[in-house]
Amino acid sequence: MKMKKKKDEELQLWTKEIISEAVLMSFNKLQPQALFKNPIIFATALCAILATLATLDTPDAFSIQISAWLWFTVLFANFSEALAEGRGKAQASGLKRSTKNLKAFLYDEQTKEKKEIDVSLLKKGDIIICYPGDVIPQDGEVIQGVASVDESAITGESAPVIRESGGDRSAVTGGTIVKSDWLVIQVTSEKGESFIDRMVNLIEGAKREKTPNEIALTLVLSGLTLILLCVVFSLRFQGETIAKESGIPHLDELSLISLTALFVCLIPTTIGGLLSAIGISGMGRLVKEGVIAKSGRAVEAAGDISVLLLDKTGTITYGSRRAFEMYPVGETHYDELLRNTFLASIADETPEGRSIIDFCQKNLKNAFPRTDSHNTFFIPFSAETRMSGVDIDHGDSITQIRKGAVDSICNIVQRNGGTIPHDVQEIVVKISKEGGTPLAVSVGSNLLGIIYLKDIIKKDIKEKFAELRTIGIRTVMITGDNH
């Protein structure tokens, strides 16, 4: 499935579409069942109705003004909530557009034929095949093949991971990208139930549940409103009693309009009206910063964080591991290691492979090894073998140069009858302890040396950690690059 890359447009809050929809929703939310979910605004709406009825009975400028302000308060509370919901839906629609009008290759295991269909037609149990550069359309299980998959859109981990059939590395997520080789995948999610779909539902906030703190605050505000209701409207009877004893015929200051206005001014209308909008808007702001909050409870829990666990690749570092140093082992010379590493990396199109080529070119100083295209066979990097290399045919013999994961290269050396130099393990452990990734290079039965791949730390990351520590948050780095 191919997906054309487009530059993401920044979502604005004050767009014509969002505002017009929010205005319409403000009136739709005047329904009793919608207002009753917010007791304070429900009480304000009842006061607005009473004030309107009193105004119709004895219309005057004061009554009309009070009634208008009460209805404005109710509509503004509805508008703020509708505006926050509209923004979340607009952000969710951006995720929906990422999978719109995309194609997938339906695969027949028996005939080995593939058929291009629209992604919307995929259903649970379908078998699809994905090639390098394809976006995996739905959550699924790998049933054939081994490939490296870019899951950065889902996990934030920029380094590709290996996905293969069988074991605990067979699950794939919709929206991730196949980087090498190919995969035959069986779809395991129904339409609308994939990981991307669940993220859309979270952002839209259509079924947002109240958090424990929000429920507690609502109860407190509702209790306070009930108390103030009793206090304010008891003033009418107290005033009439005092007026009668004082010989005053009636008190205009204690009319229904005045008491209604006093009641709405006393109750926490602003907090009650904006409470749900604040929660939705907060989750929307997190999405804009690239953070998905699964619930309002998660946002509240963030305020109690004292320890922050951070992934290394793509979070603390830029995520593109680059060649930092090379260590010859045994009797290998440094230049010999550089030349063979250069040859073994020519067919490696991964970012790490390109960085190794750059490192070799910089240190060889134009003394590049030459090969004859007629007797040279390049072997591209494969997720299955976890190595790349080159075979050079000399007529009576073939020189095999390989570069890749340390365990894979060690296995090749031992199969060819070679031995592993004693200092290899020491170098590998040293690189791993420093948070780097070791690769090995071999020629035939000889292991020549170790390549040190290092993540580049993001700019100003130390200053950001210092800011976290000043507010009492301790930071811990977690990496899965090495055992």
Which residues are catalytically annotated?
311
CA distance 222 to 50: 20
Within its chain, how far is the Cα of 224 from the centroid?
A: 40
DSSP 190: -
Residue type, 213: N
Integer Cα distance of 53 and 71 in angstroms: 13
SS (H, E, C) 407-442: HHHHHHHHHCCCCCCCHHHHHHHHHHHCCCEEEEEE
Dist. CA 246–CA 409, nearest whole Å? 104
Token reading at 404: 């890749």
Query: Of 75, 93, 66, which is closest to residue 27 (Cα–Cα)?
Result: 75
CA 347 – CA 379 distance, rounded (Å): 6
Residue 472 sits at the vertex; the CA angle it makes with 470 and 473, to the nearest 5 degrees, is 105
Q: Which residues of 57-75 are buried (b: 16+ CB within 10 A; e: fewer)?
A: eeeeeebeebbeebbebbb
Chain CA centroid to CA 402, Å: 37
Q: Name the nearest CA neighbour of 368 among 380, 357, 379.
A: 357
Cβ atoms 451, 331 nearer than 8 A: no
Half-sphere exposure of 398 (CA within 13 A, CB side): 11
Alpha-carbon gap, residue 187 to 230, rounded angstroms: 60
